[in-house]
Every structure is written in C-alpha cells, then in structure tokens.
C-alpha cells in the first residue's frame, strides 16, 4: 500500500512536471511565427521588397548601417573609465564607422549614491554625458537617438520635473521627452527607428523601478507613431531600454494594445533592440531570440562593465548585426549571405541571397584594412575587394550551397596586423539554427508573471507544510537522516500555538497588507504592496516587489521556521544546558538575525527613516523573529509536558 501511494505520487508529480515543461516550451517556441500564420502577407511583402532591391551584387546601393550602445551608467562615484572610454567611443569609433544613426538605449547615467544603495538624479553625470557628445562633434555627421532607462528615471516626480535632466542634457530630450519615431531615407533604404520610452511616471527610487510601464496615454502615442512609420518606411527598427518581457501594459483592455503584437503586426518590423538586463551579469552574453511574431529581439550587453556596442546593417532588406568590445579592431559584419540563426521569413527577401552574385562584408578598423579574405573550407582563401567605404565583396556561386547549413570563414587583417576571424553559418533554403533556451526564457516570458510565480511558490512553501503538519496527528517516524529529523522538528513546532499562528499569519499578511509606508520619491509618501505601489494618486504595477518579498521568504521566513524547529528540539532535549554550548547551538539564529538586520539597514538607506519605521516586511520582522525565538526558549511547563509526551530527541543525532 505504501508503495502504491509513492508510485501514485510520483506519477502525479511527473505528470505536472511534463505539463509545466510543455507549456514552457510552447511559450518560448520560435518555430511557429507570424510568417507561418500569415504566409500570404509575408510573401507579398518580401516580393515587394525583393522587387525594390532587385538583386544583390557588388553595388554599395541599398545598404545602411548604424550603431547601438546601452547602459552607459556614467557615474561620478565609480569607474571613471566609463566616461573616458565613452568619450573615445564618440571621438573615434563613431567617426571611424560613420553610422547612419547611433541608438543610445537608456541608463545613460548611473544615478546611484556613493553607498551604491541610495538613488537620485545627479546633474554632474548628465553634464558629462551632454558635454562628451557635444564636444566630440558626433552629431555633425550622424543622428544620435537617445532614450531614457530606469536609472534615468530614479526619483523623478513627473515628466516636467526639474530633476528630469534628460529634457535638457540629452540629444532628443528637449523635443522628444518620451516615445518617438525617426524616419530616414539613405542610399535607397527607407527605415523608421521607433523609440519606446516605458519609464513609469512617477519614477521611484531603486529598487522598485525595474519594470517598465506603458500607460494608456503612451500606448496611444506609440500607436500613432507606428501608423506614421508604416506609411513612410519599408523597414522599422524598434528600440528601447526595457526588453518586452519587462514591460507592463497599464489599463490594457482585451484585444487592445500588446507591444509584442504591435511590433510584429507589420512585416516591415524587423527587430526590437534593447538593454537593461546587462546580459545577466555576463552569464548570458548573447541574449537574442526571435519572438513568436517573427521579428528579432536583441538585448545588448552593457557599456557599464563590459564596454560593448552593436553594429547593425540593413543590406537589400536583410538585417544583420554583431556585438563588439570597445577598442577591439577590426570590426567585421557579413551582410550577405545572412547568418542562419537570424533569418526572418516573411520579413526579409531571403530569395535574393540565393540569386546573389557576391558575398558582402563590412570591415572597419582604426587604421586601414589590409586584406579581407573568405573561405568555405578553411583551406583555399579568396580575396575580397573594396567597393566603397567599408564594403568588401567577392564573387561566389550560391547554387553550390542551396541546401542545408554551411559555414563561411572570414579573415580580416589591418595594416597593424590586427586580425579578426569570423565563423559565419548560413543557409539559402531557410534552414535555421535554434536559439539557446536561456535567452528565450528571459526575453519571451513575462517577467511580472515569473516574479509572481516565484513569490507564490515561496509563500506556499512557507505556509502549507506547517499547516499540513499541524492537522496531522500521527508524528513522523524518527530517523537519523537530516530531512527526517527536520520534518519531525517542524511537526513538533507546528503543535505550538504561540509559534505556529504568528508565523502563518505573518506569511498570509504579505500578499495583502502594506509592506512599507514612506518617502518613495522626495517629498511624496507612498505605500508598497506585493501587487504594486500607490503614490501621488497613481498605481504603479511594479512586479519587482514580488522578488523583493521573495527574498524575505527565502532568506528570512523559511530559515526562521527551520531555526525555531531546531531550537525547540534543543530546548526539549537539554533544558538545563548552560554557557558556551548553548550559545553555539543558537548560532544559526544569531546568523539569521544578522541577515535580517542587514536587509532592514539596506532598506533604510534606500527609502529613509519613515519607510524603515513603518516597514512590516523588513523592519517589523526583526522583533517578530526575536519574540518567536524567545517564546520557543521559554515555553510554559504545561506546553513542555504536552510536547514531551510526543517527543523523541533528535538533537543527539549528528547534524
């Protein structure tokens, strides 16, 4: 019978896991895209673009390129190299590459205090940003399109707040303070750059400023700009600071605006370029995916720590890109044939590559390029010749590679013998390379839903086991393994009313009651809940609160249950132990209390004294823990007698 219960439980668990994995894989699938859903529209669009560009040969026509830089984080308190090397980027890199535009996708300044916890706009940082761009003269020959990130919105009461230095110390802020569109026609290519500003209003101090928000007014503004872009451009490149996974639509009605749906609605939308996630601290260096609507979403690693920037080209309707470290030369991008991983059926005239006559490569360096060579088997190398500017071409026979995946190798050497070597996979029959799972999860799921799921799971782990043990009359079988001892200790703890009810009620309070009341913006009192923030008569659906509460549950509340259970076990086993031995046994609680005090101290630095005092989440949990620990150590005699009748010592077993 026991075996049957275990088998049934295992089958149910595997079934639930398989359902979860099936749903997850469906959410992050990239093989059923907009082109498949609307094949006729895709064929019509690519036929139109293909006829417009006619054929891919050696001509420099129908080719543009531009740069992206993100998360610059200019700071007066740390890493002066961000400023000096950003100046080099403007003075040297931009002038060598000569892009059509430069997209600066948010977090232009750091806006963090010297202690790295407080946050507010620092005018000097904005002056550095403004002066570098102005004095470099970079805007004389290219268009600089900057937009705000969450750091540029710290502690901003409203868009017209004097502390919103983006209005006066950026290139676009004075005329385009929020979302905007810039349309350019150059070298036969009509492209619209759609900038999405999802900074919430008002802008809170960190950390509750992680998720972007598009309210009804901004949604309407974007829809209007998008209609203009579709009418006037053949290609649309979207850019913003937040990935689409980190943007919440406020007051969204069913069937109304959905940003991903809007981006993918027209076949002319090719990519959404963003930053914000900093490549997860370098753990996901290539955070790219193709959304279900068929366009690319490309997160760029930060300038702040990694000094990265991106080169993007649209060549005869094909969008290609490469991310590059600052001051690493040569910079090389193959535009035909396009990288197989980033093919977009229905959005690019892919048939032009199969009919093309030349391989096309963009090659840049801070000195003259000496040689550009290609090979398809790394044995025989073929020289490319320069057509104009950075464009190098070589004749080829694409019919030899018309089926399956192939690799082309590119070697570029400049006159200082600096070398770049590129392995370039391509296909001419639509064969693609799948994107890795991790970037698909980060860019295709909804961060708010994930944060809420994590918080809910931790809340369940905090409450449900204790409740089940509370209603279970039969004590667990004693054993020597750690989990057996701990289950028995928790079962015993669940029988103590003065411990059980405060722990459970506090956990149940977290999803509903306020976590803190304080000055979330200078001069304005706000209230933090799990499900959002109320301030200045506005509701901000900031899902990052769930992660903040999840930290409390993971590193405070759940460990507190385990520590109290162990303390109760020691108390019942050795009530008369004194001195050093008892202090050592209470070291886990001392460590836990230190963690709580540290978290409360950080919260005080972030939001001030009032938030610290009226802070049920961080501050009030400290005296609650101390009280519960004290009550565990001072149980009344009648409670002890009741527990001792159920008790078999586990503390003598090795931990």
Q: Which helix (H) or strand (E) holds 296?
A: strand 296-299
End-to-end CA distance of the chain: 32
Question: Which long-range contacts does 583-588 make (Cβ < 8 Å, 24+ apart)?
Answer: 588/559, 588/562, 588/563
* Interval 275-327: pLDDT, tens: 999 999 889 999 999 999 899 999 999 999 999 999 999 999 999 999 999 99
* Interval 586-604: pLDDT, tens: 788 999 999 999 999 999 9
Please give the full DSSP string across 407-428, using - where no structure is assigned: EEEEEEEETT--EEEEEEEEES
Strand-pair category, 235-240 with 189-196 = parallel
Q: Could you tell me if 595 and 555 are in contact, meaning their C-beta atoms sit under 8 angstroms apart?
A: yes
Q: What pLDDT, on the 0 to 100 scale, is given for residue 332?
A: 97
Min mean pLDDT across 82-91, 103-112, 645-654 is at: 645-654
Q: Could you tell me if 298 and 273 are in contact, meaning their C-beta atoms sit under 8 angstroms apart?
A: yes
List Cβ neighbours of 612 (8 Å cut-off, separation of 6 or more).
518, 600, 603, 604, 618, 619
Mean pLDDT of the chain: 88
How far apart (Å, rounded) are the C-alpha atoms in residues 62 and 190? 9
Q: What pLDDT, on the 0 to 100 scale, is given for residue 241?
A: 97
Q: Could you tell me if 335 and 319 are in contact, meaning their C-beta atoms sit under 8 angstroms apart?
A: no
C-alpha dist (Å) from residue 51 to 62, 229, 336, 349, 632: 12, 21, 17, 9, 80
C-alpha dist (Å) from residue 119 to 19, 112, 197, 231, 630: 42, 4, 20, 42, 37
Min mean pLDDT across 33-42, 52-61, 509-518 is at: 33-42
Write phi, then psi, for 309 (nearest 5 degrees): -145, 170
Domain residue spans of the chain: 31-444, 447-646
Q: What pLDDT, on the 0 to 100 scale, is given for residue 64?
A: 97
The residue whose two tokens read 């096309």 is 360
Q: Which helix (H) or strand (E) holds 388?
A: strand 385-388
User: pLDDT category, 206, cuts 50, 70, 90?
Assistant: confident
Q: Could you tell me if 90 and 133 are in contact, meaning their C-beta atoms sit under 8 angstroms apart?
A: yes
Beta bridge partners of 240: 196
C-alpha dist (Å) from residue 18 to 13, 156, 172, 530: 9, 45, 49, 30
Q: How large is the average pLDDT for residues 504-517?
A: 93
Has residue 329 got a pLDDT over 90?
yes
Q: What pLDDT, on the 0 to 100 scale, is given for residue 17?
A: 53
User: pLDDT category, 105, cuts 50, 70, 90?
Assistant: very high
* Interval 182-192: pLDDT, tens: 999 999 999 99
What are the start-end ranges of the H helices in 272-313? 303-306
Q: Could you tell me if 398 and 376 are in contact, meaning their C-beta atoms sit under 8 angstroms apart?
A: no
Q: Could you tell me the strand order of the sheet in which 318-325 lies?
A: 143-147, 101-105, 63-69, 308-315, 318-325
How far apart (Å, rounded) are the C-alpha atoms in residues 36 and 346? 8
How far apart (Å, rounded) are the C-alpha atoms in residues 126 and 116? 18
* Interval 370-415: pLDDT, tens: 999 999 988 889 999 999 999 999 999 999 998 999 999 999 999 9
Q: What pLDDT, on the 0 to 100 scale, is given for residue 509?
A: 94
Q: Could you tell me if 316 and 61 are in contact, meaning their C-beta atoms sit under 8 angstroms apart?
A: no
Q: What pLDDT, on the 0 to 100 scale, is given for residue 47?
A: 86
Between CA 112 and CA 202, with CA 155 as vertex, the angle to 5 degrees is 145
| Helix (H), strand (E) counts: the chain | 21, 25
User: pLDDT category, 173, cuts 50, 70, 90?
Assistant: very high
Beta bridge partners of 472: none
Question: Which superfamily does CATH assign the domain made up of 31-444 to?
Answer: Metallo-dependent phosphatases (3.60.21.10)
Q: Could you tell me if 493 and 564 are in contact, meaning their C-beta atoms sit under 8 angstroms apart?
A: yes
How far apart (Å, rounded) are the C-alpha atoms in residues 530 and 512? 7
DSSP assigned state of 477: P
Q: Could you tell me the strand order of the sheet in which 524-529 lies?
A: 516-521, 524-529, 532-535, 538-540
Please give the full DSSP string across 194-238, using - where no structure is assigned: EEE----SSBPPTTS--SEEE-HHHHHHHHHHHHHHHHH-SEEEE
Q: Tokens representing 627?
A: 């009280």
The residue whose two tokens read 């910079």 is 331
Has residue 579 got a pLDDT over 90?
no
Beta bridge partners of 145: 103
CA nearest neighbour of 504 among 514, 517, 490, 494: 494
Q: Three-state SS for 273?
A: strand
The residue whose two tokens read 């659906």 is 541
Strand-pair category, 524-529 with 532-535 = antiparallel
């Amino acid at each position: 019978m026991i075996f049957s219960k275990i088998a049934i439980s295992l089958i149910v668990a595997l079934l639930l896991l398989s359902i979860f994995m099936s749903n997850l894989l469906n959410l992050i699938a990239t093989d059923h895209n907009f082109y498949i859903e609307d094949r006729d529209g895709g064929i019509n669009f690519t036929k139109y673009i293909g006829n417009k560009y006619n054929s891919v040969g050696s001509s420099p026509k129908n080719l543009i390129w531009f740069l992206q830089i993100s998360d610059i984080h200019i700071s007066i308190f740390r890493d002066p190299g961000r400023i000096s090397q950003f100046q080099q980027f403007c003075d040297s890199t931009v002038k060598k590459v000569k892009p059509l535009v430069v997209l600066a996708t948010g977090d232009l300044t750091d806006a963090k205090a010297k202690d790295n916890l407080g946050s507010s706009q620092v005018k000097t940082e904005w002056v550095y940003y403004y002066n570098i761009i102005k004095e470099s003269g970079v805007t004389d020959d290219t268009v600089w399109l900057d937009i705000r990130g969450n750091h540029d919105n710290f502690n901003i009461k409203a868009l017209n707040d004097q502390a919103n230095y983006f209005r006066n110390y950026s290139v676009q802020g004075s005329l385009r303070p929020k979302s905007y569109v810039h349309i350019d026609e150059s070298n036969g290519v009509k492209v619209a750059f759609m900038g999405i500003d999802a900074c919430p209003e008002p802008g809170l101090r960190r950390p509750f400023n992680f998720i972007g928000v598009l309210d009804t007014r901004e949604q309407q503004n974007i829809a209007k700009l998008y209609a203009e872009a579709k009418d006037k451009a053949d290609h649309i490149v979207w850019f913003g600071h937040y990935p689409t996974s980190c943007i919440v639509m406020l007051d969204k009605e069913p069937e109304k605006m959905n940003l991903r749906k809007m981006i993918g609605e027209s076949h002319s939308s090719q990519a959404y370029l963003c930053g914000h996630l900093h490549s997860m601290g370098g753990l996901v260096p290539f955070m790219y995916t193709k959304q279900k609507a068929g366009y690319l979403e490309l997160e760029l690693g930060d300038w702040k720590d990694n000094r990265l920037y991106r080169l993007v080209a649209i060549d005869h309707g094909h969008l290609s890109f490469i991310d590059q470290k600052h001051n690493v030369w040569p910079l090389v991008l193959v535009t035909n044939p396009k990288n197989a991983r980033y093919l977009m059926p229905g959005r690019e005239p892919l048939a032009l590559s199969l009919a093309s006559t030349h391989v096309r490569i963009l090659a840049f360096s801070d000195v003259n390029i000496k040689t550009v060579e290609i090979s398809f088997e790394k044995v025989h190398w073929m020289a490319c010749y320069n057509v104009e500017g950075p464009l190098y071409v070589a004749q080829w026979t694409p019919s030899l590679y018309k089926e399956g995946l192939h690799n082309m190798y590119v070697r570029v050497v400049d006159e200082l013998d600096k070398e770049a070597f590129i392995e370039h996979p391509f296909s001419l029959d639509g064969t693609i390379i799948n994107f890795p799972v991790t970037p698909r999860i980060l860019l295709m799921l909804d961060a708010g839903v994930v944060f809420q799921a994590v918080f809910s799971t931790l809340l369940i782990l905090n409450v449900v086991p204790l409740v089940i043990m509370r209603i279970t009359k039969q004590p667990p079988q004693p054993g020597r393994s750690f989990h057996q001892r701990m289950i028995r200790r928790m079962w015993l703890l669940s029988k103590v009313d003065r411990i059980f009810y405060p722990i459970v009620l506090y956990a149940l309070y977290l999803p509903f009651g306020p976590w803190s009341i304080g000055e979330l913006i200078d001069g304005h009192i706000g209230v933090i809940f799990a499900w959002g923030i109320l301030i200045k008569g506005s509701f901000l659906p900031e899902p990052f609160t769930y992660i903040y509460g999840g930290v409390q549950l993971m590193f405070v509340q759940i460990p507190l249950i385990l520590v109290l259970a162990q303390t109760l076990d020691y108390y019942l086993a050795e009530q008369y132990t004194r001195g050093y031995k008892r202090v050592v046994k209470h070291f886990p609680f001392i460590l836990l209390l230190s963690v709580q005090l540290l978290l409360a101290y950080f919260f005080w630095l972030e939001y001030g004294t009032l938030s610290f005092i009226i802070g049920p989440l961080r501050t009030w949990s400290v005296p609650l823990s101390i009280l519960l620990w004290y009550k565990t150590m001072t149980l009344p005699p009648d409670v002890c007698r009741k527990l001792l009748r159920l008790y078999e010592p586990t503390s003598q077993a090795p931990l």
